[in-house]
Structure 1
Amino acid sequence: MKCKIKLNGINDVKEFVNITFKAENDVDLICGKYYIDGKSIMGIFSLPLDQPIEMELADEDAKMLKNQLEKFIVN
């Protein structure tokens, strides 16, 4: 699954990482040419959080975590 997410500060990043840590597969955040581990707080803070970020995760993880991640997904 590919979608755009928006993280609005420290609390969003902490909550997002707590959710993605439950994923069995990789969660990638893509910003330009950079691929960041979506389970890494430090990695996420290296991204510009003032704009939406592309997220890629396995379909089985997307099904399992969709409800929890919904608040971060933007169109």
Structure 2
Amino acid sequence: MYETTIQLNAINDVKEFVNTVMLFDYDIDLVSGRYAIDAKSIMGIFSLDLSKPIKLQAHTEDADALVKAIDKYIVK
């Protein structure tokens, strides 16, 4: 499993992020506090507190393509 932290600041960021992660076949979750939601669910993402960074968990051993695709959202 691959883990990183992301930040989604605007509504357009959320829409673009969801469209990007939908291209990947494996499960991708976002974890905020005790809530874990499907990263491919736009409604689920809007139920999270987007003012704070969110932990992303990708259930794959090869996340290189995902990392490149979502690089601008990754908190460095």
Q: Identify whether the pair has TM-score above 0.5, normalized to the shorter chain.
A: yes
Residues 16-54 of structure 1: per-residue CA shift (max 9 Å, x gap): 001100111110000111110000000000001101000
Structure 1 residue 59, shift from structure 2 partner: 3.0
Q: Which runs of 5+ in 2 are unaligned?
A: none
Equivalenced residues, count: 74
- C-alpha distance in structure 2 between counterparts of 1:47 and 1:17, whole Å: 14
> Corresponding residue for 2:36?
35
- C-alpha distance in structure 1 between counterparts of 2:18 and 2:33, whole Å: 21
Normalized per residue, which structure has more helix? 1
User: 1:36-55, aligned counterparts within 5 Å?
Assistant: 36-55=37-56
- C-alpha distance in structure 2 between counterparts of 1:19 and 1:59, whole Å: 18
- C-alpha distance in structure 2 between counterparts of 1:70 and 1:30, whole Å: 18
User: 1:56-71, aligned counterparts within 5 Å?
Assistant: 56-57=57-58, 58-60=60-62, 62-71=63-72
Q: Which runs of 5+ in 1 are unaligned?
A: none
Q: Over aligned residues, Cα RMSD in angstroms?
A: 0.9
% identical aligned pairs: 49
Amino acid at match of 1:25: Y
- C-alpha distance in structure 2 between counterparts of 1:73 and 1:40, whole Å: 18
The normalised TM-score by structure 2 is: 0.91
The normalised TM-score by structure 1 is: 0.92
